Structure 1
Amino acid sequence: MEPKIVIPGELVSDKKMRLGPHVFVENGKIYSDTIGIARVEKGLARVVPLQGKYMPKVGDVIIGIVVAEEYSVYAIDINSFYYSFISKEDTRIVLRKGNVVSAKISRINEINEVSLSNVRVLYGGEIIPVEPTRVPRIIGKNASMLTLLQNGTKCSIIVGMNGWIWAKGSDEGIALLKKALDKIEHESHLANLTLKIQKMLFEKKST
Structure 2
Amino acid sequence: MDWSAWHNDYDNPGTPLARRLADVQGHIRTALSDAPAGPLTAVSLCAGQGRDLIEVLAEHPRRTDVRARLVELDPRNTAVAGDAVRELGLDQVEVVTGDASLTDQYVGLVPADLVLACGIFGNISDADIERTIAFCPQFCKPGAVLIWTRHREAPDLAPTICSWFEAARFERLYLSAPDAGYGVGVHRYVGPEQPLEVGHRLFTFGSAR
Assess same fold via TM > 0.5: no
Q: Which fold has the larger relative contact order, with Cα–Cα distance below 8 Å and residues 6 or more apart in sequence?
A: 2
Higher helix proportion, which one?
A: 2
- Structure 1 or 2, whichever has the larger Rg, is 1
What TM-score bracket applies, with the shorter chain setting the length? under 0.3
TM-score by length of 2: 0.24
TM-score by length of 1: 0.24
